[in-house]
Amino acid sequence: MASWVLSECGVRPLPRVYTRPRTRLMGTSEMGCARKPDLINLPTFCASRGRVRDWGVKVSAPLRVAFVEEEEEEDSEKINGSVDGEGGEGGFDPGAPPAFKLADVRAAIPKHCWVKDPWRSMSYVVRDVAVVFGLAAAAAYLNNWVVWPLYWAAQGTMFWALFVLGHDCGHGSFSNDHRLNSVAGHILHSSILVPYHGWRISHRTHHQNHGHVENDESWHPLSEKIYRSLDGVTRLLRFTVPFPMLAYPVYLWSRSPGKTGSHFDPNSDLFVPSERKDVITSTVCWTAMVALLAGLSFVMGPVEVLKLYGVPYWIFVMWLDFVTYLHHHGHNDKLPWYRGKEWSYLRGGLTTLDRDYGWINNIHHDIGTHVIHHLFPQIPHYHLIEATEAAKPVLGKYYKEPEKSWPLPFHLIGALLKSMKKDHYVSDTGDVVYYQTDPEL
């Protein structure tokens, strides 16, 4: 059943047509800089291969990454006429290369926005964990069916907030201490059944290939060939809410259509040999959390664990898929996807969207401020709003101002439903493509 209910899978096995994204940091020596990967215009990274051997928790730390500005290739016949996106008889073209470079965007962001404060980051962890335990204690004490639905919505949202903090650990924006990032990331993600390193590595692939039809790792388009290979029921379920909003657990086990591998398997195509120990560590932590929940079921009873943890977990999954999808889909204007030489790190990042979630913005750590996060994932979440405001004059019309939300972001449900009805597949050919609609769906 899992192979058809979710956005990341199909009713029957799909042919493997995508080339595997490159995640290896090529040609590194200790504390040396990587050679440029095979992907066109992909930024190079400097990585430390050193490992921490003698500390008690025995949790491996993510690679030390130093972001290096990419060089954008200019095409005078395609570039929109000015930094603010004005120019050309045909008006603004979001699929054309911008007149600015990634370095221009970076230079506009104040220097203090790049500073990571571990104490401030940890304060958010303390706040969120305290709220999680407080909500659970209150719900268990009141034990009232009027209270339980409110608890599930609130606690599921808090699980999502914990995920965002672990997400910052995975990017290294939580602190400059890689051991702290790994320990905090494992605790936060394992507590909500996410394999920290397995997810961190695949999410790195997503950021390095955002906006690329084949090489992007999550919520990327289906080619028309794969889409047509699905039967009618599969197509209907694939684009019918709420089924796509339950995708994440299946994605962790089986990835996206046309791709193979599991986030729990150290031998998966997702990982290079040097990352296998990291994946094993995360899988062990995930298994320990499953064992803890099983033990609590014997002590408290399975129904109580379901009410306190199980239902909030699925609310969290829906938040994750809802937010992730809407950061890459559902704008009023069609957004481009790229292949081949037309793709670059900057152009791919500019296809992402900011979203306003009203009161939820603060609760889930401003993850809706997504464009700058995609371009510069090293920026801590508490500086993203300021960094975005500083970058807007450079981004011009390539930045899509989010629709303002009421206290709760019910307006985004409409954006999701509209996108699910329209954004079905992209052409099998072409280096700049847009979603097309199946009129039969």
Mean pLDDT of 90-104: 91
Q: What are the structure tokens assigned to 144, written together?
A: 């009232």
Q: What is the pLDDT of residues 113-162, one digit of tens each?
A: 999 999 999 999 999 999 999 999 999 999 999 999 999 999 999 999 99
- Its domain, for residue 178, covers 2-76+99-433
B/e letters for 277-299, b = 16+ CB within 10 Å, e = fewer, are: ebbbbbbebbeebeeebeeebee
93 lies in some domain: no
441 lies in some domain: no
pLDDT at position 90 = 52
Find out whether 408 and 419 touch, Cβ atoms under 8 Å: no
Backbone angles phi, psi at 67, to 5 degrees: -75, 130
Q: What are the structure tokens assigned to 250, written together?
A: 């299946």
Q: For residues 386 and 354, give the distance between their C-alpha atoms in angstroms, rounded to a whole number.
A: 14
85 lies in some domain: no
CA-based nearest residue to 408, from 142, 101, 154: 154
Find out whether 99 and 76 touch, Cβ atoms under 8 Å: no
Q: What are the structure tokens assigned to 293, written together?
A: 């929940």
88 lies in some domain: no
CA-based nearest residue to 104, from 301, 358, 326, 376: 376
Per-residue pLDDT band for 256 (boundaries 50, 70, 90) equals confident
Alpha helices in 70-144, H assignment, sequence order: 102-108, 118-142
DSSP run (H or E) holding 65: strand 64-67
91 lies in some domain: no
Q: Which residues pair with 337 in a beta bridge?
A: 433
Residue 46 DSSP code? E
Q: For residues 234 and 12, give the distance between their C-alpha atoms in angstroms, rounded to a whole number.
A: 9
Per-residue pLDDT band for 380 (boundaries 50, 70, 90) equals very high
Question: What is the number of domains present in the chain?
Answer: 1
pTM for the whole structure: 0.81
**What 3-state DSSP class applies to 45?**
strand
CA-based nearest residue to 384, from 112, 158, 190: 112
CA-based nearest residue to 434, from 363, 358, 372, 342: 342
Find out whether 31 and 21 touch, Cβ atoms under 8 Å: no
Find out whether 326 and 402 touch, Cβ atoms under 8 Å: no
Of 9-18, 167-176, 365-374, 377-386, minimum mean pLDDT range? 9-18
Backbone angles phi, psi at 276, to 5 degrees: -65, -40
pLDDT at 66 over 60: no
pLDDT at position 124 = 98
Find out whether 61 and 286 touch, Cβ atoms under 8 Å: no
CA-based nearest residue to 338, from 148, 211, 227, 181: 211
Alpha helices in 306-402, H assignment, sequence order: 311-326, 345-349, 360-363, 371-375, 384-395
Residue 114 DSSP code? G
Alpha carbon dihedral 317, 319, 322, 328, in 10-degree steps, equals -100
Q: What is the pLDDT of residues 209-240, one digit of tens each?
A: 999 999 998 888 999 998 988 888 878 878 89
Task: Share the mean pLDDT of the chain.
Answer: 84
Dihedral sign, Cα of residue 13, residue 18, residue 19, residue 24: negative
Find out whether 175 and 316 touch, Cβ atoms under 8 Å: no
pLDDT at 35 over 50: no
Q: Which residues pair with 46 in a beta bridge?
A: 33, 66
Residue 275 DSSP code? G
Q: What is the pLDDT of residues 311-352, one digit of tens each?
A: 999 999 999 999 999 999 998 888 999 999 999 999 999 999
DSSP string for 187-214: HHHHTTT--HHHHHHHHHHHHHTTTBTT
pLDDT at position 255 = 83
Find out whether 74 and 66 touch, Cβ atoms under 8 Å: no
158 lies in some domain: yes
Of 102-111, 210-219, 406-415, minimum mean pLDDT range? 210-219
